[in-house]
Structures are given as C-alpha cells and as structure tokens.
Amino acid sequence: MREPLTVLGLESSCDDTAAAVVRRGQVMSSVVIGQGGLHDAFGGVVPEIAARAHAEKLDVAVAQALREAGLALDEIDAIAVTSGPGLIGGVLAGVMCAKGLAAATGLPLIGVNHLAGHALTPRLTDGLAYPYLMLLVSGGHCQFLIVRGPQEFTRLGGTIDDAPGEAFDKAARLMGLPQPGGPSIEAAATAGDPRRFALPRPLLDRDDCNLSFSGLKTAVLRQRDALVAECGGLRRADRADLCAGFQAAVCDVLADRMRRALRLYMGENPSAPAVAVAGGVAANMAIRARLEAVAQEAGARFTAPPLRLCTDNAAMIAHAGIELFDAGVRDDMTLSARPRWPLDQSQAPLIGSGRKGAKA
C-alpha cells in the first residue's frame, strides 16, 4: 500500500492561472482563474499581459486551493508546477512561485510538462492502465500520443498548422459568430446541411497521423466570400450549412487520423486497449461520437475526462506530480522554464504552434 501523498499543483502556461490540491486519485480542490477580457482586443493571448496577470493571481489561486481543500501548507507533501511548454513569461511566473513555496517550506519541487498533465489526466479520472492512446484536441494542442508512463510517450502525429479549436474559432469569426467558435459552430450546425458545400479534408491521402486545418479555414473564407458576392451576405441557412459542412470535415479528418493511430497502437497488442481524448474540442458531441465509434470499431474502451479536467487546470499538474514523485523525480532551485518541451524527443518538431503559443 502506497503512502497517501498530497500535492499542490500550479499551472500558468497560457491564459488560465490555476492551483489545485490532489491526494492520490482524489481532487481535493481545483481553482482556475481566467484572464477574462484582458486579451479580447488583440485577437489572441498577449504573452506580456498574460504573464503579469499570472504574477498577480498565483498567490490568490494557491490560497484558495488550500482553503477549499481544507489544508494548510504544512499538510502538503510536494509542490508540482508546469515548467513548460507554453508562453515563457507565464511559465516563469509559476516556476518562481513554486520555488518560493518550496524554499519557504522545504517541500520537494517537481517540474511538470503541461502536455504530460493533459495526457495523464485519464489515469486520475478513469484509472486507465498504461499504455493507452491519447488524442489532445484544443485551441492550442493537437496530437496523438501512446502514453506508456509518466515520462514515456510516443507521438504518432499532430497538426502541421492550426490546432482544431483554433480552426473552429477562426471559422466562426469568418462567419460572424461569437467566440469561442467551437460551441457557436456546433449550435449553428445542428440546423445545417453538411453536404451543401464541398469543403476539403486535408492530408487524408497521407500515410501518417498528421493533420492540417488551415486549408479548411481558407475554404470557409472562400465560400463565405462567394456567398457575400452572390447574395450580399450570409443568410441564417447559409451560415448553418457552412457550419455543418465545416464540422463534418473536422469530424472526418479526426476520425480518419484516429483510425490510423489506433491501428499502430493496437498493433502493439495492449492488454486493456483504451482511447482517451482531452481538450476543449472534445466537448463537441459530433466529434466525440465519431471518435467513440472509431474506438469501438477497434475494440478499445473510450473515455473523455470531464471538461473541467480536460481543459487547462492544475489538478492535472498535481496528479502528474504524484506520478513523477513515485518515479523518484525531484527538481531543485535550478528548475527552469521551457518554452518548448516535446513529450517525445525522438520525433522531429511539429511546425504547428497554435493561437496560444508553441506547444509541440
């Protein structure tokens, strides 16, 4: 029987300031402080503004996480912090805060890869056994991983340009729909005809697990311009059809790539085959249903952690910290913030960076 281990996690790699307390498998608190409208006027996250907001809010988030968990700092066993990849100013703010806490308390300090945090979440929420296949799909990430251990990942492929959430957001903007684009497009698509506009399915002929979404976004732009030239604007039905067509194209691309990734994963004969998805785009019911069907076809279990643990949060960082602690990982005051930190160092870097910064 392993010791109960209680870890305080910090996350500040993008535009959410988060702190959480996790005790082996149990989320005791998870605080996420967004940056509200701070970046709205700029069309994307402004790194300097984000970093300053993190520096102002990290101690607030930590105090709240401890309070909600009903614990004092001296009842914590270790401090885990996202030390990359992400927007460097924000990551630095988190790392400095964690170092301060570790120096003041003498607690062990553990640097966590943000992507590993996402990738290990199904172990916290569903107790998945290694190895499982993971698809990360959000506004900042898109990659297929075989997760073999807390520090052992095989990246099968990823986006070579935009992340899918980013494509949803840009396509929504083109059609005059509110942000975030994913939920707006999903809602509009329910009344649309996905077959009216012929939109591309980029890279489907390629014999790998890479994806591309920027051509699809350009095709939406062309269709919109054609409709505006022809009818003077987008009618409600045009918008619904374009949304349905766009969503169907994303579904087809993700399902096809998932099928390929599953073939590679199942080829290893895992004893308890499982597929997990995480990230904001996994909230899309049409996408989720398609991915679930593909997993079932292959005889694999399908899981998607609840949305609050699927999107950026610190419980995933605390949980990854527990797994790393068990593996003997300890950092010290030399821990540095890394803007880039691929999970699978054996693979060539992906070009895609995402609206929220490079996270290959």
- The pair of structure tokens assigned to 202 is 């980029």
Instruction: Report which of 118, 82, 115, 49 is spatially closest to residue 359, judged by C-alpha positions.
Output: 115
In the list ligand KG4, Zn ion, none, the entry touching 311 (Cβ below 5 to 8 angstroms by class) is ligand KG4
- The pair of structure tokens assigned to 278 is 């995480």
Decide: is 16 part of the binding site for Zn ion (CB under 5 A).
no
Q: Give dist(CA 168, CA 149) in Å, integer.
A: 32
Stretch that binds ligand KG4, among 104-112, 215-223, 281-289, 325-333 (CB under 6 A): 281-289
- The pair of structure tokens assigned to 256 is 């096809």
Q: Give dist(CA 162, CA 218) in Å, integer.
A: 12
Stretch that binds ligand KG4, among 38-46, 134-142, 220-228, 338-346 (CB under 6 A): 134-142
Instruction: Give how far the C-alpha of residue 49 lies from the chain's centroid of Cα atoms, to the nearest Å.
Output: 21
Decide: is 181 part of the binding site for ligand KG4 (CB under 6 A).
yes
Decide: is 312 part of the binding site for Zn ion (CB under 5 A).
yes
Q: Encode burial over 263-296: b for 16+ CB neighbours within 10 A, e otherwise.
A: ebbeeeebeebbbbbbbbbbbbebbbebbbebbe
Decide: is 182 part of the binding site for ligand KG4 (CB under 6 A).
yes
Instruction: Say whether 178 sits in a helix, a strand or coil.
Output: coil
Stretch that binds ligand KG4, among 73-81, 136-144, 222-230, 288-296 (CB under 6 A): 136-144
Determine the residue with CB nearest ligand KG4: 182
Q: Which of 183, 215, 270, 339 binds ligand KG4 (CB under 6 A)?
A: 183
- The pair of structure tokens assigned to 302 is 């399908």
Q: Closest approach of Cβ 101 to ligand KG4, in Å?
A: 25
Decide: is 202 part of the binding site for ligand KG4 (CB under 6 A).
no
In the list Zn ion, ligand KG4, none, the entry touching 44 (Cβ below 5 to 8 angstroms by class) is none
With 0-12 / 13-18 / 19 or more C-beta atoms within 10 angstroms meaning exposed / middle / buried, residue 106 is: exposed
Q: CB count, 10 Å around CB of 75?
A: 13
Q: CB count, 10 Å around CB of 229?
A: 8
Cβ-based nearer residue to ligand KG4, 23 or 359: 359
Number of residues that bind ligand KG4 (CB under 6 A): 21
In the list Zn ion, ligand KG4, none, the entry touching 186 (Cβ below 5 to 8 angstroms by class) is ligand KG4
Q: Which of 85, 94, 280, 352 binds ligand KG4 (CB under 6 A)?
A: 280
Determine the residue with CB nearest Zn ion: 312
Instruction: Report which of 338, 334, 23, 56 is spatially closest to residue 8, judged by C-alpha positions.
Output: 23
Cβ-based nearer residue to ligand KG4, 241 or 312: 312
Decide: is 44 part of the binding site for ligand KG4 (CB under 6 A).
no
Q: Give dist(CA 88, CA 212) in Å, integer.
A: 26
In the list ligand KG4, Zn ion, none, the entry touching 158 (Cβ below 5 to 8 angstroms by class) is none
Handedness of CA 43, 44, 48, 51 (dihedral sign): positive
In the 8-state DSSP scheme, what is residue 128?
A: P
Cβ-based nearer residue to ligand KG4, 97 or 283: 283
Instruction: Say whether 204 sits in a helix, a strand or coil.
Output: coil
In the list Zn ion, ligand KG4, none, the entry touching 273 (Cβ below 5 to 8 angstroms by class) is none
Q: Encode burial over 315-324: b for 16+ CB neighbours within 10 A, e otherwise.
A: bbbbbbbbbb
Cβ-based nearer residue to ligand KG4, 169 or 241: 169
Decide: is 281 part of the binding site for ligand KG4 (CB under 6 A).
yes
In the region spanning residues 309 to 328, those forming contacts with ligand KG4, defined by CB under 6 A, are 311-312
Side-chain-side CA neighbours of 236 within 13 Å: the count stands at 3
Cβ-based nearer residue to ligand KG4, 165 or 273: 165
Decide: is 169 part of the binding site for Zn ion (CB under 5 A).
no
Q: Which of 17, 138, 210, 303 binds ligand KG4 (CB under 6 A)?
A: 138
Are 286 and 247 spatial neighbours (Cβ–Cβ below 8 Å)?
A: yes
Residues lying near Zn ion in the complex (CB under 5 A) are found at: 312
Residues lying near ligand KG4 in the complex (CB under 6 A) are found at: 14, 138-140, 165-166, 168-169, 180-183, 186, 279-281, 283-284, 311-312, 356
